[in-house]
């Protein structure tokens, strides 16, 4: 039996808008194949990482004729769990997939969501995105070691700006503090709805450092307004001239992975068709260009392997949140 959550007013409004769009999508197509019409749900506001991920896929699917009609619908709120709750109620809708990823795993736990990724059908993991720790260009912190020293000495006075509570940014802030020798629960973490607000917090000196996906900071790094001290990847990412945390002496690595899930009632045939569509997407030259342009790393995974990965990510994230007192 699927479980339900009671959302905030924002969640209800977002859900209502989504349901209106979903009914329209279902009513105008009438076909039994997602290749005729498919809706990609971005469980976040326009302009963020999940939105960009969905719209990049939309463009490639259209250009390479993977699907005839592809639309993106935004359902923002609560680290993606409002969108997740709505998709979990969509039954056997065959023409719909939702973007998911590491941020949602943490959001489910922090928001105490009654709906989890066990309530939807895993389709495919497509790519890994990685976070960078940045400081203003005039910051006294020249290296990650400089910042870690202050974080250890005064975690409450070394504010770190990032995304939603329980997301990758938040977990990384806690892990960095732990490795630096500070109490993760004492870190002054400032949560914002997007990378733009994190940049504003840094440039206004509200925060001393910021954590987000590389693309959120890329232009500010290139212009010289921000300086990148480290990246959360296991190893250096081609095309991104930022050392990993491990290269800088801090043993922390975490991926902001992204993929797609489907409503819980889809048939095996529909699930297999969705997997085939995303497999074709991944194999196009256009998608390879998307990965390179965005600094994303291919991490393709489907079926039982992807389901097992989600289960392990949920367990690992829960353990991190408990250990960090978050």
Q: Which of 273, 281, 293 is nearest to 60 (CA)?
A: 281
What is the DSSP-derived secondary structure letter of residue 124? E
**What is the domain class of 131-231 according to CATH?**
alpha beta
For residues 228 and 141, the answer to whether their CB atoms sit within 8 Å is no
For residues 124 and 39, the answer to whether their CB atoms sit within 8 Å is no
Task: Give me the mean pLDDT over the 263-270 stretch.
Answer: 96
Going by pLDDT thresholds of 50, 70 and 90, the confidence category of residue 17 is low
Q: Write down the domain spans for the chain.
A: 9-129+257-324, 131-231
Q: What pLDDT score does 28 carry?
A: 42
Task: Give me the mean pLDDT over the 234-252 stretch.
Answer: 95
* Same fold? 9-129+257-324, 131-231: yes
Pairing of strands 297-302, 131-136: unpaired
Report pTM. Answer: 0.85
For residues 124 and 57, the answer to whether their CB atoms sit within 8 Å is no
Phi, psi torsion values for 139, nearest 5 degrees: -65, 145
Distance of CA 28 to the CA centre of its chain: 30
Q: Percent of the chain scored above 90 by pLDDT?
A: 77
Pairing of strands 256-262, 96-101: antiparallel
Pairing of strands 209-213, 160-162: parallel
For residues 170 and 163, the answer to whether their CB atoms sit within 8 Å is yes
Query: Tell me: the pLDDT tens digits for 88-133?
Result: 999 999 999 999 999 999 999 988 899 999 999 999 999 999 999 9
Query: Tell me: the pLDDT tens digits for 39-66?
Result: 999 998 888 889 999 999 999 999 999 9
Going by pLDDT thresholds of 50, 70 and 90, the confidence category of residue 166 is confident
DSSP secondary structure, 64-108, as one string: TTS-S-EEEEE---GGGHHHHHHHHTSTT-SSEEEEEEHHHHHHH
Residue 62 three-state SS:
helix
**CA–CA separation, 84 and 116 (whole Å):** 8
User: In the CATH scheme, what is the homologous superfamily, with its name and number, of domain 9-129+257-324?
Assistant: Bordetella uptake gene, domain 1 (3.40.190.150)
């Amino acid at each position: 039996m699927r479980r339900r959550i009671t959302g905030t007013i924002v969640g209800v409004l977002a859900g209502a808008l989504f349901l209106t769009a979903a009914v329209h999508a279902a009513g105008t197509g009438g076909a039994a194949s997602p290749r005729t019409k498919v809706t990609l749900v971005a469980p976040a506001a326009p302009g963020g990482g999940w939105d960009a991920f969905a719209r990049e896929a939309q463009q490639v699917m259209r250009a390479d004729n993977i699907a005839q009609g592809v639309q993106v619908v935004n359902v923002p709120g609560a680290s993606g769990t409002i969108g997740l709750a709505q998709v979990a109620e969509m039954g056997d809708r065959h023409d719909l997939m939702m973007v998911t990823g590491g941020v949602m795993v943490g959001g489910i736990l922090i928001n105490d969501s009654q709906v989890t990724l066990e309530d939807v059908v895993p389709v495919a993991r497509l790519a890994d995105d990685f976070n960078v720790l940045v400081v203003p260009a005039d910051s006294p912190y020249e290296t990650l070691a400089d910042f870690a020293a202050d974080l250890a000495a005064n975690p409450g006075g070394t504010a770190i700006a990032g995304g939603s509570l329980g997301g990758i940014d938040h977990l990384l802030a806690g892990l960095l503090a732990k490795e630096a020798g500070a109490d993760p629960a004492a870190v002054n973490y400032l949560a914002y709805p997007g990378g733009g607000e994190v940049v504003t917090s840094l440039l206004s000196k509200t925060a001393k450092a910021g954590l987000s996906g590389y693309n959120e900071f890329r232009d500010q790094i290139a212009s010289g307004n921000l300086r990148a001290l480290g990246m959360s990847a296991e190893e250096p990412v081609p095309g991104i001239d930022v050392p990993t945390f491990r290269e800088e002496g801090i043993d922390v690595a975490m991926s902001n992975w992204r993929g797609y899930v489907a409503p819980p009632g889809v048939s095996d045939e529909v699930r297999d068709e969705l997997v085939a569509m995303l497999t074709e997407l991944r194999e196009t030259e256009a998608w390879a260009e998307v990965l390179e342009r965005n600094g994303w790393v291919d991490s393709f995974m489907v079926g039982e392997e992807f389901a097992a990965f989600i289960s392990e990510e949920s367990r690992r994230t829960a353990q991190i949140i408990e250990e960090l007192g978050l």
